[in-house]
Structure 1
């Protein structure tokens, strides 16, 4: 049981290392993006489709998820730790690394948030250049997304109709097969009936012939007896 626990703890430790490396690389890019993000002052024709502000927000959510995942793994490592001073030191070290990452993440987020607040105060009620265009583009993207969603629904409905028609045709084909099978059965029975009727008629003709011969013989004998 202890070997299984030790193996699970090693797996958790490997996952923690991989997450730490991933978070470390992303934090560097996050910090650079935080320093470069801001109002571009470009005209409406030059506004990029995805601004650095949007990229910063997306990376912020991704880093927050990674930090939460790393914190959860650290908790699991503490629960299944095999024991010993070296193990406790390792767990402590991983927690310190997580704390450093969280502090750096919070520092960069707070710095960008403070800059955004200052820009909002300086900007006041007048929209920045390209802001209206950005809103229009977002509206266009939303409409395009809704249009794509409606198209997907329409395609799904057409596929369902086609599937129902296919099932209906399959059912009709099976019905026709059953009808054809019944016709074949009836057709196969008719030769037997015809054969029976033929044998009955043949027997009647044979009986009639025998009766005729008997009557003829009797008549001939009576005539012969009468003339003698």
Structure 2
């Protein structure tokens, strides 16, 4: 393969050369280890790694691969994600065909394939591997919203914590946004939660919200004048 390049090459030992080359756009590759000497009483291993750049932050769904694993050999796959290729999540052991459970959303996904043989003269073969990002398209998903406060009656100058919770009931992950305009007579003192809340427009950009996940926005409001305040989202 081309070190840190987009091309991977298949090496045929019978001709002692490359018989197939493939370009994987927006990836770079690193190879570790080798399988060369046929030694029936020796453990050998090799690794292949690829980093995929999705172009923006996304959640990662399932990973699947096709391989040939003779008795006494093993193919295992591990993944981790990052937004900057400097700070990486913990490695997750992938299960062929099943969704990833522990890998957080990120722009980059690193896939490492380990090939092992145990006292065997044959080596395992990885034919192909694919990773699917979570569907964050414009197709609809069901979001649930709730608003709670720590007080129902306030005097002028008093403060109240208003908690806005947003839950994704599925079936799709989405870039969650919510509009909440602070009623006249209340003043925003602070806001805390994922993403960003713009007090002028009332828009809370909560960011990527996976299916069955929930996020909350904590607003600290101060009463400026008397009245009955209705909260609308």
TM-score under structure 2 normalisation? 0.16
Higher strand share: 2
Higher helix share: 1
TM-score under structure 1 normalisation? 0.16
Q: Which has the higher contact order (CA 8 A, sep 6+)?
A: 1
